[in-house]
Structures are given as C-alpha cells and as structure tokens.
Amino acid sequence: MNFIWLFLIIISIIFGAINGKLNDVVNSIMSGAELSINIAIGITGVMVFWLGIMKIAEKSGLVEKISEILKPAAKFLFPEAYKENKKAIGDIAMNFSANALGLSNAATPMGIEAMKELQKINRNKESASDSMCMLLAMNTAGFQLIPATVIAVLSASGSKNPTEIIVPTLLVTSFAFVTAIFTAKIMQKFFPPQKVTEENEDV
C-alpha cells in the first residue's frame, strides 16, 4: 500500500506538470479531501442504523444461528475465526448475504462488525490476519446477484432489454469471486506469516 499510494501521488504530479494540468491536480487535493469527509459523513447515518440492527440480531441469537448453518464453508475459508470466534463467522455470513443482495449500505457495517471480531483474535493488531485478508478478498471481488445500478443506467439510456446482462455478469462476478478466494488461499501459504506482537487477550 505504501508503494501504490506514493506511486499514485508522484505519477499524478509528474503527469499534471507534463500535461499542463498541475493546477487541476492541486485543486483535486482540496476537492478530494472534502469529498472524503462528505463520504464519511454520508455513511455515518447508515453505519449507526445498521450497527444498531446488528446488535439486535446478535442478542437474539440470529448471528450465531447463521454461523452454525455455514459451518463447512467457514471451516475452509476462515479456519482461525472458526475455531476462536463464532460471532465473526455469523457477521461474515451476513456481510456476504447483504453484498449478494446488492445492499451495499447494509453490507459495509456488517463487514466492519466482522472485522472488529476478527481483530479480537488477531495476534498483531496493526497487521491483517489471514481471516481478514480472506474477508477482504470476498468483499473486493464484489459478488452480487443482480447488478441493480448498472441495469438502472442501461434503462435510463434507453436499453430495451437491460436485464439481459444479469446472467453474463453473474458468471463473471462468480469467476472473480472464486479467483479471489483461491488467490487468498494460495497467498497465505507463500506470504511471510504475521509477526506476533501480543498474546491473544480475548479468548
């Protein structure tokens, strides 16, 4: 991430200078910073609401029930979390379901709940555990049953049959999703393990 971030900024300044767009680049720093705060404020309301709902789901035992149903998949994808933190599995399952249904507003708070649970059993609080990387792999691949936004844009542009992209999109998104999972699984084997900085305090 260090490298990519540095690369994006340096490349932007150099290209801005060459293209005579340095002024735009400078302005984009201000507007980008402003935008990031607007996005954060924009998601706060949804975050607050869904974390409240999630707490109810947790207290009523629903989250645990879902993790029970998804045992076999959880064992394969999140072996650490499966052993040490059952609630994380339930949160992950809810995050995945919300994503699949295209409810990204609800999916993000659920995913963050899952991250908090995974952080509890993480042995180095500044570095991503294997389970976290797997959860991120599942989320960045963006598995979704119905690409509602795209269908809306197609409809608005006058497409006669915007739903015909559903099946091909589903094929592609499934392929990307499976690729993400297996890439994460393979990377686990070859990537140097986390440095352990502290003992696991929560279990």
Q: What CA–CA distance (Å, rounded) separates 135 from 91?
A: 11
CB of 189 to another protein, least distance (A): 10
* Residue from 71, 187, 196, 202 binding another protein (CB under 8 A): 187
CB of 70 to another protein, least distance (A): 17
203 is an interface residue for another protein by CB under 8 A: no
Q: Are 96 and 173 in contact (CB under 8 A)?
A: no
Q: How far is CA 102 from the centre of its chain?
A: 13
# of chain residues touching another protein (CB under 8 A): 106
Instruction: Report which of 150, 132, 145, 138 is spatially closest to residue 194, judged by C-alpha positions.
Output: 132
Handedness of CA 128, 134, 140, 144 (dihedral sign): negative
Q: What CA–CA distance (Å, rounded) separates 138 from 99?
A: 10
Show contacts with another protein in window 46-65 (CB under 8 A): 47-62
69 is an interface residue for another protein by CB under 8 A: no
CB of 3 to another protein, least distance (A): 10
Q: Are 191 and 123 in contact (CB under 8 A)?
A: no
CB of 56 to another protein, least distance (A): 5
Show contacts with another protein in window 97-126 (CB under 8 A): 98, 101-103, 106, 108-109, 111-112, 115-116, 118-119, 124-126
Question: CA angle 189-110-45, nearest 5°?
Answer: 140
CB of 198 to another protein, least distance (A): 14
200 is an interface residue for another protein by CB under 8 A: no
Show contacts with another protein in window 121-180 (CB under 8 A): 124-128, 132-133, 135-137, 139-142, 144, 146-151, 153-154, 157-163, 165, 167-169, 171-173, 175-177, 179-180
Torsion of CA 82, 88, 93, 94, to 10 degrees: 170
79 is an interface residue for another protein by CB under 8 A: no
CB of 89 to another protein, least distance (A): 16
Close Cβ partners of 106 (under 8 Å, ≥ 6 residues apart): 46, 50, 98
